[in-house]
Structure 1
Amino acid sequence: MSEPYVPDPDGRTESLGDLLGEVTRDISTLFRQEVELAKAELSQSAKKAGKGAGMFGGAGVAGFMALLFLSIALWWGLGLLIGNVWSAIIVAVIYGIVAAVLAMRGKKEVEEITGAPKTAETLKKVPEAFKTSEDSR
């Protein structure tokens, strides 16, 4: 007759309740770690989004202030040389270019936001961990 099945090499056997408790603890730990990873990644993405939004805001304020103060002075100075209409057009084009450059830099910052790629990648692996060897056949 053959020896009885003993899952533990030390000869100890664990109850089904102990095994389920261990699996539950492992799953709980896994999900806590995933939540922490997601928090870290989203925090980093939020900082980049804030930086990009700040640049957009800075572009708007800088564009407005420049148009308000410098354009009046430049318009008045050029108006003495070439006339008020042409000097106003030149001033508007110059500050439009400045605002466009700042807006493009802000857009670049916003496009660099990645979200939580590591969390998404590891969450895809979770269902595979629950597959038994019979499921993979």
Structure 2
Amino acid sequence: MALTSRRADPTAGTRTREDDGSIGQMLTEVTADTQLLFRQEVELAKAEIREEVATAGKAAGMYGGAGFAGYMVAFFLSLAAVFGLANVMDGGWAALIVAGVWAALGAVLFVLGRSRMRSVSPQPRQTMETLKEDARWARHPTT
């Protein structure tokens, strides 16, 4: 009986990805990778949105402070107008004139705001049209 020496093939125990399985398995892996990538992109978008919302919140607080400061300026200017007119006429009439100016300004702003509000549509028309087009395409994808 002759002795033969067998050498082990160094690549015998390793398999490459091409040898690993069928096309179905590769598609499953690609799908899983795509889903993971999509989830990671969504998480990144959420993180970016959180940062932007925090910045917008701080800016809104500053707008609120500016609005209050503007209110205080208007209040003290109104008092100055009342006291200035009180040098020319009775204090009660001076206060009534300043109040009338503020009432007229408020009425004008109310009318302008109401007219703009009537032109606002709560329905997103462009989105609705796009959704209708998508639905038509889904029913007849070849047209």
The answer to whether the superposition gives a TM-score over 0.5 is no
Q: Highest Rg: 1 or 2?
A: 2
Larger RCO of the pair (alpha carbons < 8 Å, separation 6+):
1
Which TM-score band applies after superposition, normalised by the shorter structure?
0.3 to 0.5
The alignment's TM-score, normalised by the length of structure 2, stands at: 0.42
